């Protein structure tokens, strides 16, 4: 990651107005569906797909970071503080954004294999996002 950053900032300009953009969330906050396999707190470089029409009551968080570093108390009451899916739908209804992606991507930002995360996980997620109908991505880390 440092290599890339030293060379250049990977800046991609938007091709349409915000009011026409379909937005997806890509988050490393450890969010997943209750029915999905939880992330391993020992370190995890896999990811989960979150449907755009998810009921937030079906979401939970599993993360390896200590609670005193990453406070989950607010997000457990209201997932929007780290994964603002309901707020995105409201912005779409107001016409501020064009739409909410049918799929969102969730990872857990605690991995002991950072090289693998950088070389394999992140490019694989980026490829999936690029192949979707998403125009722009909101990144959150918790």
Partner 1 sequence: MAGIPTVLITTDKESSQQQRPPRAINPEGFTWGHSLGTAGNKDLQMAVLRTALRQFEELHMPGTVRTLAFEGYKP
Residue ranges binding partner 1 (CB under 8 A): 1-2, 5, 9-14, 17-18, 21, 23, 26, 29, 65, 69-75, 77-78, 80-82, 84, 87-88, 90-91, 96-97, 126, 129-130, 134-142
Contact (Cβ atoms closer than 8 angstroms) between residue 60 and residue 32: yes
Shortest Cβ 136–partner 1 spacing (Å): 4
Shortest Cβ 39–partner 1 spacing (Å): 16
Shortest Cβ 6–partner 1 spacing (Å): 9
Residue number, 35 or 91, with CB nearest to partner 1: 91
Residue number, 48 or 63, with CB nearest to partner 1: 63
Instruction: Tell the residue number behind the tokens 């953009």, with chain if given.
Output: 21
Instruction: Tell the residue number behind the tokens 């968080």, with chain if given.
Output: 61
Contact (Cβ atoms closer than 8 angstroms) between residue 132 and residue 24: yes
Residue number, 33 or 89, with CB nearest to partner 1: 89
Contact (Cβ atoms closer than 8 angstroms) between residue 130 and residue 61: no
CB neighbours of residue 43 within 10 Å:
14
- Can you give the length of the chain in residues? 142
Close Cβ partners of 136 (under 8 Å, ≥ 6 residues apart): 14, 21, 22, 23, 24
Residue number, 87 or 116, with CB nearest to partner 1: 87
Shortest Cβ 110–partner 1 spacing (Å): 12
């Amino acid at each position: 990651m440092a290599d890339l950053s030293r060379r250049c900032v990977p800046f991609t300009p938007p091709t349409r107005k915000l009011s026409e953009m379909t937005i997806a969330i890509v988050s490393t906050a450890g969010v997943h569906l209750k029915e999905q396999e939880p992330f391993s707190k020992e370190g995890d470089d896999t990811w989960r797909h979150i449907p755009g029409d998810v009921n937030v009551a079906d979401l939970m968080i599993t993360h390896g970071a200590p609670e005193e570093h990453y406070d989950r108390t607010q997000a457990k009451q209201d997932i929007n503080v780290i994964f603002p899916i309901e707020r995105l739908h409201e912005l779409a209804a107001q016409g501020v954004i064009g739409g909410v992606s049918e799929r969102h991507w969730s990872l857990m930002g605690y991995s002991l294999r950072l090289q693998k995360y950088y070389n394999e996980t992140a490019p694989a997620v980026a490829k999936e996002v690029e192949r979707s109908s998403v125009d722009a991505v909101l990144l959150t880390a918790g």
